[in-house]
Chain A
Amino acid sequence: MGRRRVVVAIVGAGAVAAAGVVLSFLPAERGPRAARAAGTAVSTPAPADPLTGAEIERAEAVASAVSRQAMSSGRVRLLYVERGDDKDPGGSGDGWEGGSSDGGHRLAEAYLYDYGTDTLTVRTVDLAGGRVVKETVSHGVQPPPSKAEELTAAELLLAHSKLGEGVRRAYALVAGGPPRSASDLGLRGLIFTPSQEEGGAATRCATHRCMRLFVRLPGGRWLDTSRIVVDLSAKKIHVLEW
């Protein structure tokens, strides 16, 4: 596969600070479902329905209210909003035949990450009441990357002196010119947590928010970026050795 040629080009540097890339505030992005739901007027969702676009916006606003300042500085980011799907204590199950169907009380869980303190906060929003009814905070828990984080990671990668050049060159080979921005790349991020087998320079990822970033070029080819780890907390790139 041509991918192997690219590996040689972009792997080989150590951890390098990538200055100039800022984790800017962005609202929680919409998944494919939410993007469509936002344009659909669903006035009264059924208990097991996904969150509507309006519900997601409401949950974002409520969950962000107390973190607005940290979010505007980019230190905290709202990753996404997930429907709260806990069972109601009094609910008796599926709800098809009438009777009580749990999930009738619509809840949304907003995931917020603080890159300064490496803290995950999940705020549960009561959508009917428009208030936060539960908040859990934890260190060392890494929910999956959001789309905005993937983009930030790609910006860090492109800003890297050696690896960024490798990506641009590989892109130009198939597209006829370099990418205008990180959003030209196909991106897919997975959380990276160092293990005994995969530690090395990335040991700080035991506490930092780090991801592996897969990069797809026009035409569908994937770069081998599996040894590259993007540290969103430190705004650095680490290269694994294995």
Chain B
Amino acid sequence: MFLLPPLMRFFAFLLPLAVGSPPGLRALPVGSRAASGPRRLRVVLALALCCATAFPGAGIAGAVAGTTVTRGAQAAPTPPCSASYRVDRTLPNGARWRLCWEMRNIEGLTLGRVVYTPRGGTPVSVLRSAALAQIHVPYDKGSPRFHDIGAMGYTAIPLQAADCPGGERREQFVCVTTRPRGHAYLKSDEEGSGRTAQGSDLVVFAAFQLGWYTYIVEWAFSDDGAIAPRVGATGSLAGFTTTPRHGWPIGVGSKHFEASHTHNVFWRLDFDIQGRTGDVVEQYDFTGAGTARRTIKRTVLTRETRAVNGRARWWRVVDRRIRNADRHPVSWEIENSGSAEYRGPANEAFTRADLYVTDYRSCERLATTNPAPRCAKSVDRYVNGERLTDPVLWVNVDYHHVARDEDSDPMPTHWQGFRITPRDVTARNPY
């Protein structure tokens, strides 16, 4: 609102009323068929006509972007971030991702205002903010136990051209690139021709030097609407020696036992599907272990929650006000199946769950060693029974590193991460 010209402010205020959206909801539901019933369409068209006539050039701007409403002359909406910090990429199949990035002093690479537009569809905002929230590194022998997120922004590594193949470097520290992701689909038909397509990802990453480790903090935005956050650890092994009980012999002979350790990576994800209101988190389980039938079980998380992984368990953030063309509510699914599920001692209770859901609170930024005064210090303490009105998800993915000879310098990257996939964002495969 702050930066909009007065006319646009006026229309941005009016239009949600005209289309019957709840207050605070700008974009219409995904799928124009569901979005604009005849009566609503008439109102919007009338307003658009009025506006275009009375205020030529003002247009109705982005308040109804992506709908089938005919627009007058358009005034380009003001993006939430300027060109240096903006990523707006349409991938070869027509999927479009927009986001802003910021290198924050504490969290390092932080992405915000993430919006996905399926081919031929309307934009849907996904994440208000997304960043690493901690890398906790306890060693198997009990010590040391590092909390690796310090002032991440200061440790960002200036990227060379070779570090960012085919991409563009933003202010030296952030690489924005695209890369192939293999088969988007492959389907044969009776005639033998079939349909096949190769997919691609928009990739945004930065690298950080944290002691001997280099961490690559990467976000892949896929052309099927999925998001894959992951962290790669490379650089050098710490070189900590230990006993055979807690390590693995590397190098010549069997004298140096490199200390085994775990990287417990936490991400903070503030989902805002078309605005901060209306988001609900659900957990899905499938009962019937050892039986022929499996039954779907949905649990709506109404209060702050700590949850652990389970076979076939997943979660989703759903906004029932936002529907696709099939009238199914739009949601984003969290799948966390690649974790070593480290569980630490009682004084590290934050390690004892794989997903936390908290109500939005601006001071809750890191999963451990939270730097804000008058705020809880770790994510397990954020969960204190509050009713969820604007859920924030914290995902914990762990990797147990037992070193091997191949980990000599430069240590090959080991990755850990999870996936966020669209569920019913579009009524069909749009690609």
Contact of B80 among A86, A101, A143, A144 (CB under 8 A): A101
Most A CB atoms within 10 A — which of B27, B82, B105, B129?
B105
- Interface presence of B225 (CB below 8 A): no
Q: In the complex, what residue of chain A is closest to B236 when comparing beta carbons? A: A222
**B239 proximity list for chain A (CB < 8 A):** 1, 3-4, 222, 224
Among the stretches B31-39, B335-343, B366-374, the one at the interface with A is: B366-374
Indicate if the CB atoms of B85 and A50 lie closer than 8 Å: yes
Contact A82 B156 (CB under 8 A): no
Residues of B75-122 at the interface with A, using a CB-CB cut-off of 8 Å, are: 77-82, 84-85, 98, 100, 102-106, 112-115
Whether B211 and A31, one on each chain, are in contact in the complex, defined by CB atoms closer than 8 angstroms, is no
What 1/0 mask marks residues of chain B from 344 to 379 whose CB sits below 8 Å from any chain A CB? Answer: 010110000000000010100000011111110100
Q: Which residues of A contact B85 (CB under 8 A)?
A: 46, 48-50
CA distance A122 to B373 in the complex (A): 7
Bound state CA distance, A203 and B21, in angstroms? 57
Is B8 on the interface with A (CB-CB < 8 A)? yes
**Alpha-carbon separation in the docked complex, A151 to B285 (Å):** 51
Is B413's CB within 8 Å of the partner chain A? no
- Would you list which residues of chain B between 1 and 28 have a CB under 8 Å from chain A? 1-4, 8, 12, 16, 24-27
For A99, list chain B residues within 8 Å (CB): 1, 4, 12, 16, 26, 62-63
Note all chain B residues with C-beta closer than 8 A to A92.
Answer: 24-26, 275-276
Main secondary structure of the interface of A (DSSP, over half): loop
A142 at interface (Cβ–Cβ under 8 A)? yes
Instruction: Tell me the nearest residue of chain B to A196, going by C-beta.
Output: B347
Smallest Cβ-Cβ distance to B156: which chain A residue: A32
Taking residues whose C-beta sits less than 8 angstroms from the other chain, chain B's interface range is 35 or more
| Cα distance, A239 to B104, chains bound together (Å) | 32
User: Whose C-beta in chain B lies nearest to the C-beta of A95?
Assistant: B80
Q: Mark A95-106, 1 if CB is under 8 A from B, else 0.
A: 111111101110
Are A222 and B212 interface neighbours, CB within 8 A?
A: yes
Q: How long is the Cα–Cα vector from A82 to B158 in the complex, in angstroms?
A: 21
A191 lies within 8 A of chain B by Cβ: yes
Contact with B along A1-24 (1 / 0, CB 8 A): 101100000000000000000000
- B274: CB under 8 A from chain A? yes
Chain A positions within 8 Å of B209 at CB level: 188
Known: A94-B272, A226-B144. A50 touches B154 (CB 8 A): no
- Count of chain A residues with a beta carbon within 8 Å of a chain B beta carbon: 68
Given contacts A46-B3, A191-B150, contact A121 B373 (CB under 8 A): yes
Are A47 and B26 in contact (CB-based, < 8 A)?
A: no
Contact in complex: B371, A111 (CB < 8 Å): yes
Known: A48-B81, A104-B1, A105-B2. A190 touches B148 (CB 8 A): yes
B-chain residues with CB within 8 Å of residue A193 when the two chains form the complex = 369
| A87 to B241 CA separation, bound complex (whole angstroms) | 47
Asked if A42 is at the interface of the complex by the 8 Å CB criterion, the answer is yes
Is there an interface contact between A189 and B150, defined as CB atoms closer than 8 Å? yes
For A82, give the chain B residue with the smallest CB separation. Answer: B105
Within the complex, which residue of B237, B276, B375 is in contact with A93, where a contact is CB–CB below 8 Å?
A: B276
Chain B 124-143 interface 0/1 with A at a Cβ cutoff of 8 Å (1 = within): 01001100000000000111
Segment among A133-141, A153-161, A168-176 that sits at the interface with chain B: A133-141
**Chain B: CB-nearest residue to A227:** B144
Q: Report the bound CA distance from A188 to B274 in whole Å.
A: 40
A222 neighbours in B (Cβ, 8 Å): 211-212, 236, 239
Residues B63 and A98 in contact, CB atoms below 8 Å apart? yes
Instruction: Flag whether A68 is at the interface (Cβ < 8 A).
Output: no
B residues within 8 A CB of A122? 372-373
| Chain A residue with the shortest CB-CB distance to B155 | A188
| Smallest Cβ-Cβ distance to B122: which chain A residue | A97
Q: Which of B25, B151, B362, B370 contacts A31 (CB 8 A)?
A: B151
B149 at the A/B interface (Cβ < 8 Å)?
A: yes
Q: Besides the contacts A92-B24, A138-B373, A144-B371, what 17 more A-B pairs have beta carbons closer than 8 Å?
A: A31-B105, A32-B156, A46-B80, A82-B106, A91-B1, A94-B272, A96-B62, A96-B80, A96-B115, A98-B63, A141-B377, A188-B150, A189-B150, A190-B147, A195-B348, A198-B145, A240-B143
Query: Can you list the 4 inter-chain pairs with the closest CB atoms, starting with the nearest?
Result: A104-B2, A97-B62, A138-B373, A143-B371
